[in-house]
Structure formats: structure tokens, C-alpha cells
Amino acid sequence: MSIIKITKQFSFEMAHALRNYDGLCRNIHGHSYKMDITLAGQPLHDENSPKNGMVMDFGDLKRLVNEEIISLLDHALVLNAQTDAQLIDVLKQNYEKIVTVDFQPTTENLLEFIASKIKKRLPERVALTCVRLRETDTSYAEWCEE
């Protein structure tokens, strides 16, 4: 049987700052992220299933990604948890979506975070093979399962 890959694209707005970075990205700034999620598997062959012929229903994938990733990161300010605690407290008092993570919120680290959250929710017969995260029109990174 053939292995088929499917990809769904998502977009979200997110701000971040890179703690102790030696360039402009140490300042709070935002991006309009574009994210491609690629899954691989054999299409389901079950005449009694409404998902017959699908690797995964795109609607189910959309729901999963919205629950795990988009609802958390869209219109959020993401900061390294080692950022000054007083600053984080002030931000949380004034804004709703301040997300702290245990890593530097670079595109590369966000990819690993996203991949780990999605992989936990996939059906056993479906594999996450690639996550592409586009930070700008000219810059992106990819996480690929080897």
C-alpha cells in the first residue's frame, strides 16, 4: 500500500522577545506566522467509516491544531520563563495572553514544541512528518521526522 502525505496550512499572529539575544529580536516584536502541518499514512480502507479513503480528515486536523497550538499562541506574547518575573507579572496584569515557555521562543524551538504537542494527539496509524513555520515572507524553519 502507498503512503500518502497530506498538508494543511494554518496562520496565526504572535509576538515574542528573545532573552539575552544580541540583535533587534531581543525587543518585543510580532510576526504573522504561516504554518504547514504534514502528515503521512495509509488512507483508511473501511467502507463503514465516514473517514474511508482519508489519511486524516482535514477538519479533524484543523480542530486538533486549533486546540493545541492556535488557541495558545494566536495573539499571544511568548516569553522565555527566565524573563524577569516582575516584568512578566506586570504584563499579565495588563494583557490577557502572556505565555511563558521553558525555552527561547525562536522559530526553531517553537517547531519542536508544536511537533511534540501534535504528535501526542494523532491516531496511531498517522505520522507527523513535517512542520514548516514561516516567520516572514523570506524566513522559515522546518521540523522533519527522520
Catalytic residues: 25, 75, 135
Q: Centre a 10 Å sphere on the Cβ of residue 119 and count the other Cβ atoms it contains.
A: 13
Identify the three-state secondary structure at position 117. helix
CA distance 110 to 12: 13
Note the Cα 31 to chain centre separation in Å. 13
CA distance 143 to 128: 10
Q: Could you write out the DSSP letters of every residue in 17-29? A: --TT-SSGGGS-E
